[in-house]
Each structure stands twice: as C-alpha cells, then as structure tokens.
Structure 1
C-alpha cells in the first residue's frame, strides 16, 4: 500500500525561515500573503495531494494512458482530479492577476509542485507544462498575446505544451527541421515532433520552428498554435510508450501545411525563439530537479513503510543493520538534494539562477531519483 505524507514541517521551515515569506506581505501586491494565509494554503495543498492524487498513482502506472479510435484517454480519475485542481484555483495560484491569476508568491507554487511530484509525478506533468507554456508567454509575449492566451491557461480551460524534440535531432534546438514559411498573413508550418508531453490534450501548443533555415540559433522562432486539434494540417500520431510515467500523455505531432496567423509569432519578431527558450531553461531545469527529489523522498517514505512491516528471519527488515545503513545513506542524499533545490529556488526568486547551477540541480536530483 502506498503512503505519502506531504512534508509540511519542512515546507514551513523553508518558506518562513529560509525564504522569510513574512516579508512578502509588506510588498505591493502581496498584502494578503500573511504567515497564516501561507500556512493555510500549503496545508490545503498537502491535503489535496494526499487525498486526491496519491490514490491515482497506481492506476496511472498500471493502466496508463490508452489509445482508442484515434483518441488518447488518461487513466481513470486523472481528468476528475484535474478538474478539481483547477476549480480550487491551484493552477493560477502564482499567475499574474491581470490575466486571471491570484498573484501569490512563486514560493507557494513551488511548494505545491513538490507536493504534487511526491504524490503523483505523472499527473503533475499536465498542469506543470501548462505553467511552463504560460511562463514563456508571460515573459516574451506581446500584450495582445498575454491577454488572449494567459487567462485560458490560468483557468485550466486550455492545457499547454511546448513542441521541441524532433526525430533525429533530439532537443538540439539549433538543428530543428520543422519549417515555418511566411506567406502573407500566415506562417505555413511543415515538419514533425516526437516525445511531446501533453501532445494529445493540449489546447495551446508552442511550436519550435525555423523561420530562417539558413541560420542556426538565429533562425529559430516560436509559434503559438491555438486548439491545434481543430486546425487543418495538424495531426497527432500514436501514443508513445515509455519506461515510466505511463499516466502522462506523450505524443508524436505532424504539421502538413499548417497555417498559423502571423500574429501568433511569440514576441512578434522572428529569430528570437532560441533566446526565449534559453531564458526559460534554468526555471524548467529547476522544476525537473524539484520534481525528481520530491519523487525520491516519496520513494524513501514508501520503502520505510514497507521495511517496518515486512518480516524475515523472525524480525522486521528495518531491524537489520544493513537496512539501516542503506536507508541512512538514502536519507542523506535526499536531504542534500532538498537543500540544493531550496538554494536554487532562492536564487530563482532573486533573479540570479544561472544555467550552470540549474543544470547541476537537474542532473543530481534526477540521478538520485533513479537510484533511490
């Protein structure tokens, strides 16, 4: 039986002692972020993850997404949990209030992401990638693009996705072959993508493409495709099978003369896509690291519950010295990862998280996730 208790005590320490969240209520726009409000929010978030998401973890892994008559279905309970999540306002907790968000501190959203990852990592990809797409639009989009796209992502009406990876090029963004050619008031897009998370369910898709194939990084642009499944020239391929996170929708996407309005060019200027993606990568890498160390901690807790109950040779597995040695090693590694992630969150909030540090966090924490 799976067990998960959100690390509320640790979360309170990080938010109140390390990040000094109490000072946030003194800043313009954060007046409601008092210590009591913050505690109430993280307590409710922990309860949602323990009660709603943890019970779906097993069915997500055992049944996964299914493909039937050209339609991908998420595991039983995933859709209802998502609807409950957005109805409770979790999707918009730190989003800009000018575009339907609540405008609460980013630290609260980071805490909720940790709880989600510990309870059900595969499910967490659905809202998580929507927030990633929203962050790119928030930073690089025009005023018109923000007003059009962000409210639908904040409300959960649209699930977001970013189409980067291609067959044969992986995530080498300078080498993408998907082509977007300007024709009048539209871009005509041709190419394909693979391993695209949320690909079958996205209502908003940011496509990484070449608007100038003669250039490498400077030829990359980002196009926003609204309701891609309703657009002529867009096709979704098979549901891709993976070693893990089987409850997460991962797709092949095909573009055959897909026409995208020119005003959907993110930021309104060609050749900015590589910079726009690189600008977001430290945040994305940190989120991956955060999810990984939360999953590692959850695995450790599941193991502790097991060795306390399982008996061999007349005593609990926990009573064997070697078991205690191994658990002590793993607890040390998890704690180191958590401290490093908290350090990175501090730097992100201060606007000082660099690509090198974020990459180290992603590597270390995902490595420990696999080992633990």
Structure 2
C-alpha cells in the first residue's frame, strides 16, 4: 500500500533549526519570509501532494502515456492535476520574481520537491524540467528571449525541456550531430534527432520550449563546438500566442521500466526555427547551469521515493502479523506479533529512516549554500557557498539516488512476497527510483566529476569548503558530554576520507585510471561523512532542546536514536571504503578485454 504524509516536523527541523548557525551569510532576499509563512506553505504543499498527486501515482503507472497522431496523452487526471498545480502558483515557487516567480528560499523549494517526488515523481518531472530551463535562460538568454518566453514558462502555462542526448551519444556530447543554420533574420534552422527527452511532448501546457544543443556550420569539433538554441513546439503569432507548428515532431515515446506517466520522447527537428541562447559554441556552459540544477533535483527524487517507501514499509510492519518476538510475545492477545518487533525488520526500517533523515539534512545544508550562491551579496560568503555547491552537487545526485533505490528495495523486502506483486504498490518505488541513478549523468559520471574536476579544483578550494567545518565539528562532538564516543567514530570516518583524498590525489596524478577506479567509493565515503556531520549536529541540537525542556521530547529523542543508529551501524562500513581505494585499480583493470 502506498502510504505517505509529509514528514513536516523533520522538514521544519531542517528548515529552521539545524542550520541556523551555518556560516554561509544571510540572504536579504529571504528575510521577508517569516517562519509562519514558510510552515504554512509546507502544509499546503502536503495537502496538494497527498490529496491530488498521490491518488494518481498508481493509476498513472498502470496507464502510462500514449502517443496518438503525434500528440502525447498523459494518464487520466494528470491534466486536471497540472492545472490545479499551476493555478496554485506551485510552478513559480522559487522562480525569480522579476519574471513572475515567488522567489521563495531554495530550502523550501527542495522540501516541496521532496513531497512531489514522494507522491508522484512522474508528475514532478513536468514542472521540474521547466524550472531547470528557466534557470538557464535567466542566466544566458538575451533580454528579448527572456521577455518573450520566461513569464509564461515561470507561471507554468508553457513548459520547458532540455534536449541533449542523441542515439549515438549520451555523456560524450562532443559527438552530437544536430545542426543549426543561421538565417538572415537572426534565427536559426535546427535539424536533427534527440532521444530520451523527458516531457518532450505532452498535453498539459499550451506550448513547449525546447533548449536544444546543436552545431553551427563553422563550429569546431568536439565539446567546444556546441551551442544552445531555444526551439519552441509552436511559434508565436503577432499577439505572442502559440500558433504555427514549428516542425518539431515525436517519432516515438519510450516504454520504460518506471516513471511511466512521464513522457520520454524521441524528437525530430526538421529545419525548426530557433534562437541562440548565450554565446556561439558555448552552449555547454548554459546547459550545465540547467543540468546542475536538475542534478540536485534528481537527488531529491531519490529522497522522496525513499521516504514514501519507508512510510509504506512502516505501515506494513505494524500491520502484518507473523511469528513471535525473540524476547517473548509482545501482543499475547493476538495470534502473532506484528513483524516490526523483529530485529532484522527493525534493521531495515532504521536504515531507511536514517537514509531519509540524513539525505534531507544534507539537502538542507546544500540548499542554504545555493541560496547564498544565487542571492548573496557578501563576496567571501558567496564564494564559499559556490565552492560548496560545486563540490556537493554530484554527491547529492549520486548518493541520494543510490540510497533512495536501496530504501525502495528494503521496502519490498519488508513486505516479503506481498512486496513483489503489483497490488502492494511498493514495487513501483523500485522501478521509479532506478532511473534516477542514470539520467542527468549516471552516478558513475557524478563520481568521476567529483574526483576528476571538483577534488583538485583551484588547489583544493572546493574541498576546503567542506573539510574546514567538518574538522571543526569533529572536535566539538568529541568534547561533548553525551556524544564523545560518537565523535570518536566520526573522527575515524573523517580521517578515512582525508586518507582517501590524499591517496587519490597522489595516484591520480600519475595515472588517471587510479582516480577513476576509486571514484565511486570516494563519493560514497564523502557523502556518508556529510551525513555524519548532519547527524552529529542533529544529536547535539536535540540534546540541547531536551535539556531546555522546550517540548516535543519524543521528536528530539527519536533524533538522537536515529543518529546513534547511523554512527553504530551505517558509518563504520562506509569508513572501510578507504581500504578498497588504497588497493588501487589493478584487479579491476588487469583482465584482458577478450577474457570477459
């Protein structure tokens, strides 16, 4: 059974309490939003997610999308839900007020995205991609393009996509073949085919604005010859209304393992009219602006599915009677005890809970930095925030989606045979979660980005934005009267991360394959240390609140228990990843290709 209610108390903890002292600097633009207003927004988002989106999740998965005469039909109820979503202002939640957005803090936006992903990740892709497209346009498009297209995109009347992948190239975009031919009026004719385009065609919005990567006739080869173009599905008339078709057609929609209610399209551009976004041959700069936004959003998808899977598993574990507790019957008046009494079921539930709370806290940390990076005015704090966001973006994308998939699988295991059949609804979480580890750059690519680009960037400056606060907190946690042993465990994990960093830096200089061989383990280790930092801060804060007698004792006690579980059971295996990193690439790379 798909069960979900937004964990509003934990969300408020992350939003208002956990990072109140985080030194990224104040963001003046956020000061107009008081606590009561932000809490009310989260409560309304929960009503929308549970009352409108969750009821469509299973039916949307069963029905999927349909291609009829070149038009994609989304599942029953999606159009009405989208209209309600748009009319409620949810499309414009965190968008720039200059273009009709509400300008809410990114931390709040990410919590709302989590609710949407938990209740209907397929639905969330439609407005989510539009938000990513608008961020790229705001930074790189001309004023004329922004004035023409952004207001309707921000309000959600028109949607946006990103068109990168072609049949012969995914990650290696230097191989793309889509062409852009200049026209006398300053526009371009775009010709080529793109695949795996999420929301590439749908019946939810009046128009679709595609951001397309293509090559100019005189473009240099490889990645340095890529430009970005804005190519609408429908051209506008003299009144600015969608009118004439623009030779953008759907060749097919993909039949996928999961996210079946999200239309994944093969698009053909046949001399479609487009306009340059940004500078010629600098399209990757603009596309990475959009992709980095989407990578964090995809990480949140993993968190959302993990939370929904956890809640569904808890509901079942409390309801399912099976066997007796090893320490004696806990419910002697019943024919058997609920399975939540069994240690192995508790292990799975606590792992899922820790995954979710840890990822939510890390997301709040990164979102705070995002706010300063985008809206901050103090140069030093802004630079530190930008460094931290650059470092943590691949970690959020890869770690959150890996753990979300792990939690979805654990939910199926808690359900047992009932989890493996469609009627329970939890097997959908496994299928929906799986794509998040692949799109917007596979998790292996995220790991390579971390060790190949971010780790050594600016003489390690990105790493210092993370290492410095963690090192300081290690000493604070070790000295804490209640959590000294927790601090010692955290120190060992941090030392393992430092050792891994030095090992990769040394070996990688001489042999890039050594860095590549260690990349996935390194990303996991850094991510788990980040979670440890957040759990340690959570435990200290909860202890202080309990000592002050400020109320909500059960919530704060549960925070401490979850933190202890993380340090006792989850962080030690992560610390051992340094052993694999030190072993190097030999056993991974020495097998001849012919022997596989």
Matches of 2:191 and 2:85, distance apart in 1: 35
Query: Could you list the runs of 4 or more consecutive aligned residues of structure 1 that deviate by over 4 angstroms after TM superposition?
Result: 26-31
Matches of 2:322 and 2:301, distance apart in 1: 33
Matches of 2:150 and 2:272, distance apart in 1: 23
Q: Which has the higher strand share?
A: 1
Tell whether the 8 Å contact from 2:233 to 2:246 is kept in structure 1 after alignment: no
Q: Residue 173 of structure 1: CA displacement? A: 2.4
Matches of 2:3 and 2:318, distance apart in 1: 13
Mean CA deviation greater in 270-279 or 310-319 = 310-319
Matches of 1:237 and 1:284, distance apart in 2: 25
Mean CA deviation greater in 250-259 or 323-332 = 323-332
How has the CA–CA distance of structure 1 residues 232 and 119 changed in structure 2, closer, same or farther, with 3 Å as cutoff?
A: closer
What is aligned with 2:200? 199
Q: Residue 131 of structure 1: CA displacement? A: 0.4
How has the CA–CA distance of structure 1 residues 321 and 19 changed in structure 2, closer, same or farther, with 3 Å as cutoff?
A: closer
Q: Residues 16-38 of structure 1: CA distance to partner in whole angstroms, max 9, x if unpaired?
A: 123549xxxx9655454111111
How has the CA–CA distance of structure 1 residues 123 and 232 changed in structure 2, closer, same or farther, with 3 Å as cutoff?
A: closer
Q: Residue 232 of structure 1: CA displacement? A: 4.3
Match of 1:275 among 263, 282, 285: 285
Matches of 2:273 and 2:97, distance apart in 1: 32
Per the alignment, in what secondary structure is the counterpart of residue 150 of structure 1? Answer: helix
For the aligned residue pairs, the C-alpha RMSD in angstroms reads 2.2
Q: Which has the higher helix share?
A: 2
What is aligned with 1:66? 66
Per the alignment, in what secondary structure is the counterpart of residue 235 of structure 1? Answer: strand
Q: TM-score, normalised by structure 2?
A: 0.58
Match of 2:230 among 224, 246, 265: 224
Matches of 1:196 and 1:310, distance apart in 2: 41
Matches of 2:28 and 2:355, distance apart in 1: 39
Larger Rg: 2
Tell whether the 8 Å contact from 2:248 to 2:268 is kept in structure 1 after alignment: yes
What is aligned with 1:265? 276
What is aligned with 2:406? 371
Match of 2:253 among 236, 239, 253: 239
Per the alignment, in what secondary structure is the counterpart of residue 361 of structure 1? Answer: helix
Tell whether the 8 Å contact from 2:208 to 2:232 is kept in structure 1 after alignment: yes
How has the CA–CA distance of structure 1 residues 336 and 303 changed in structure 2, closer, same or farther, with 3 Å as cutoff?
A: same
1:248 aligns with 2:254: no
Q: Residue 280 of structure 1: CA displacement? A: 3.6
Q: Residue 107 of structure 1: CA displacement? A: 2.3
Q: Residues 152-186 of structure 1: CA distance to partner in whole angstroms, max 9, x if unpaired?
A: 11121101111111101013222221111213223
Q: Residues 236-287 of structure 1: CA distance to partner in whole angstroms, max 9, x if unpaired?
A: 1111111110010110001222233xxx2112x2112011122343322111
Greater relative CO, 1 or 2 (CA 8 Å, sep 6+): 1
Tell whether the 8 Å contact from 2:214 to 2:226 is kept in structure 1 after alignment: yes
Mean CA deviation greater in 354-363 or 296-305 = 354-363
Matches of 1:350 and 1:99, distance apart in 2: 20
What is aligned with 2:552? none
Q: Residue 58 of structure 1: CA displacement? A: 0.6
Q: Residue 222 of structure 1: CA displacement? A: 0.9
Tell whether the 8 Å contact from 1:173 to 1:274 is kept in structure 2 after alignment: no
Q: Residue 111 of structure 1: CA displacement? A: 1.7
